[in-house]
Structure 1
Amino acid sequence: MKISGTADLPLHGGHVPPWLMERMKSMASAIVKIIVEDYGERELLRRLGDPYWFQSLGCVLGFDWHSSGLTTVVTGALREVLSLEDHGIMAVGGKGGLSRKIPEKISELNLNDNVVRGLVKASRLTAKVDNAVLQDGYQIYHHIIIFTENGDWTVIQQGMNPELRYARRYHWIGEYVESFVVEPHSGIAGSRSEKLVLNMVSRESEEARKASVDLVSENPSKLIRLVNLALNKQETLMAWVEKDVGEKISFPKHLNMPKRIDWRAIRRAYDQRPRNYEELIDVKGLGPSTIRALALISALIYGVKIDWRDPLKFSFAVGGKDGVPYPVSRRTYDKAISFMRQVLEAAELEREEKKLALRRLLNLERRLYG
């Protein structure tokens, strides 16, 4: 399942009232329980990895359909209600420090060592890709991984462009990731399509990925000469890109050839001899500037192709968090939660009633899709 969608995600201020957060968690728990019991843990991961369904879930929970806060609050609710004991699924991560503690949190669980290593790697590489390999002007500030004890996972993370005042959300489904560096996303939801993006995860950037690996196998002193040569060809780069995209463009500053490169990371890569691009980007200290420098040198000096295209659903169920577009009705929300609880109580007694409840949820989902 490869899905790309767009949805405005403006940065909204405001906080979720405690009473609303409790009701969000209550409804999220009810929805999670139905899906896991009737369709299994993997189906829940697939749904959360679908940006359309995730957006509709946020709407059902009462959040603003187009607010960047939907991502952080909905994943926060899921993090609190999901547990390996009750659902066979757990979520860890969040903003800033919470995301950096993911390896520690996963390691504390009673999981198979191979599962732990796989989950930690998935968290690390998904964050690296969306922050440094796909350079679209949005910096990741929120990262959460949702996983089973067998090692199945979904990652949802969000980046921010402070100048545009918009956010962009990235979805990954581990089940469908054949490579972390080749078309790995299940979907990307954002405010707009950018005219120029350094898209090193595109299939069309394959030769640039190979050339980048070859470059770090050279003595770093040679790479220094190539960097200086590339810096003198910035205008050539702009002309080449304009020809490639078929129109005159304003080249974004964040995509220029970097003047500063972490040469310690380059030396580390040279010593480690990565066999492929995935191993290359996993080298410690190899950040956006160095990855971009290697890509641009590959294009400017060796003439390989880079894909500059940007790889990029909704109704309102019961209102919105901060009055955009309209305030939450407590009575409406209470009725929705009460309905979900009644469904669950009946579903625990009769399987057919459980299926009917899920069909109602899916019908609501279709209305949200429009």
Structure 2
Amino acid sequence: KDALTPMDGVVVVGGVYSEKFRVPDEIDGLATYMGMPEAQVEMLKEVSRATAKVDGVAVQDGYELWLHVMAFSVECAWSVVQIGHKSVLRRLYLWSSRRAAERDLVDEPHTLILSDSRARYCLDFTHSMNWELRRSSVEVLREGLGRLRRVAASYRPREQRSLLEYVPDLQAEENPLTTPVRVNWRVLEGLCRDVPVDFRDLLMRRGVGVATLRFLAICANRLYDVTPTLEDRAVVEARAAPVGDDSEQLCYDLLEAIRYSKLNEMRRTELETRVEGFIDWYFGPRQN
């Protein structure tokens, strides 16, 4: 965010997830300063909100988002980087406007999901094989609140303990289609009264969170026999070797790229100085 300014034609907004409510204002200010049309500004704000809702609610992999960063250019090309955490594990979600132009934002829209590990169960509504789950999650709302309440009463009560909880040192992951979920009936009542037109509309409705979507998945399974895939799409990250000569060479390659870039001279000199300072600090002065 410090290195790129509107003068470069590319800017970065966002940061830690607790500051996500500032992102629309950041987009407003920077995009307007860059002379972007109002329609593009509103589109960027909608993309920011949609990507956060997809990774935080529709991709139910057990990771909680803590970083949301968006970069966009004056031509309205954009990329989003989000990071989630689960205990000591981390997961990276990457988005790009090119990929989003080719697919719907709720149908495997990611450029990449990179993780420390894969979950045994991942209720991913955006998985390409879960198209029927997305459709059925909207359709069950037409069954009415009474029938949904009967589904909620038919599975294991939340107060009933699982035997897995008494197995020592077992970090058990439970099937999301059989595990009890706390239902917000006020939200469901509103959805049944005004049924969304499609899954994307459902996801973006105010109040729709992880528990609401999971309950609708349970209803689709019980009422329509829809069995979604619970495959985790994440690519497991190979741990890098300790920093060595290759890493140092990459830093010098980056320095060369900056020197021959088309950035304006002041910005290029600033970045060159910062990278040179990092190399000297981390690796020590290079021997001739």
TM range (shorter): 0.7 to 0.9
Pairing 1:95–2:12 present: no
* Deviation digits for residues 304-342 of structure 1 (CA, Å, limit 9, x no counterpart): 1201101027897xxxxxxx93599xx989966764454
The verdict on how the C-alpha distance between 1:268 and 1:105 changes in structure 2, with shifts beyond 3 A counting, is farther
Equivalent-residue separation in structure 1 for 2:213 and 2:238 (angstroms): 36
* Deviation digits for residues 265-293 of structure 1 (CA, Å, limit 9, x no counterpart): 22232343211000000010100011111
Equivalent-residue separation in structure 1 for 2:13 and 2:186 (angstroms): 32
Structure 1 position 85, deviation (Å): 2.2
Equivalent-residue separation in structure 2 for 1:81 and 1:348 (angstroms): 12
The verdict on how the C-alpha distance between 1:231 and 1:116 changes in structure 2, with shifts beyond 3 A counting, is farther
Equivalent-residue separation in structure 2 for 1:175 and 1:338 (angstroms): 28
Superposition TM-score, scaled by structure 1 size: 0.58
Output the amino acid matched with 2:148: L
From 325, 333, 336, the equivalent of 2:242 is 325
Q: Which secondary structure state, in structure 1, belongs to the residue aligned with residue 92 of structure 2? A: strand
Equivalent-residue separation in structure 2 for 1:183 and 1:153 (angstroms): 17
Equivalent-residue separation in structure 2 for 1:116 and 1:338 (angstroms): 33
Alignment correspondent of 2:151: 226
Counting only pairs closer than 5 Å after superposition, residues 1-370 of structure 1 correspond to structure 2 as: 79-86=1-8, 88-108=9-29, 109-110=31-32, 111-162=36-87, 165-177=88-100, 178-231=103-156, 251-252=173-174, 256-312=178-234, 325-326=242-243, 339-344=256-261
Superposition TM-score, scaled by structure 2 size: 0.73
The verdict on how the C-alpha distance between 1:221 and 1:151 changes in structure 2, with shifts beyond 3 A counting, is farther
* 1:231–1:259 Cα contact (<8 Å) kept: no
Q: Which moved more, 1:275-284 or 1:292-301?
A: 292-301
Work out which structure has the larger RCO, using CA pairs closer than 8 Å and 6 or more positions apart in sequence.
Answer: 1
* 2:60–2:210 Cα contact (<8 Å) kept: yes
* 2:181–2:214 Cα contact (<8 Å) kept: no
The verdict on how the C-alpha distance between 1:277 and 1:335 changes in structure 2, with shifts beyond 3 A counting, is closer
* 1:230–1:300 Cα contact (<8 Å) kept: no
Output the amino acid matched with 1:154: S
* Deviation digits for residues 181-235 of structure 1 (CA, Å, limit 9, x no counterpart): 1111110111122221112111211111111101223432332222222447xxx
* 1:82–1:91 Cα contact (<8 Å) kept: yes
The verdict on how the C-alpha distance between 1:206 and 1:315 changes in structure 2, with shifts beyond 3 A counting, is closer
* 1:262–1:286 Cα contact (<8 Å) kept: no
Equivalent-residue separation in structure 2 for 1:116 and 1:267 (angstroms): 33
Equivalent-residue separation in structure 2 for 1:118 and 1:190 (angstroms): 29
* 1:143–1:156 Cα contact (<8 Å) kept: yes
Structure 1 residue runs of 5 or longer lacking an equivalent are: 1-78, 233-248, 317-323, 350-370
Equivalent-residue separation in structure 2 for 1:200 and 1:277 (angstroms): 9
The verdict on how the C-alpha distance between 1:326 and 1:260 changes in structure 2, with shifts beyond 3 A counting, is same
The verdict on how the C-alpha distance between 1:270 and 1:326 changes in structure 2, with shifts beyond 3 A counting, is same
Structure 1 position 252, deviation (Å): 2.5
Equivalent-residue separation in structure 1 for 2:142 and 2:238 (angstroms): 48
RMSD, matched Cα: 3.1
The verdict on how the C-alpha distance between 1:151 and 1:217 changes in structure 2, with shifts beyond 3 A counting, is farther
Output the amino acid matched with 2:26: K
The verdict on how the C-alpha distance between 1:263 and 1:208 changes in structure 2, with shifts beyond 3 A counting, is same
Equivalent-residue separation in structure 1 for 2:197 and 2:80 (angstroms): 26
Equivalent-residue separation in structure 2 for 1:149 and 1:301 (angstroms): 48
Equivalent-residue separation in structure 2 for 1:200 and 1:122 (angstroms): 18
- Matched residue pairs, number? 242
Instruction: State percent identity of aligned pairs.
Output: 25
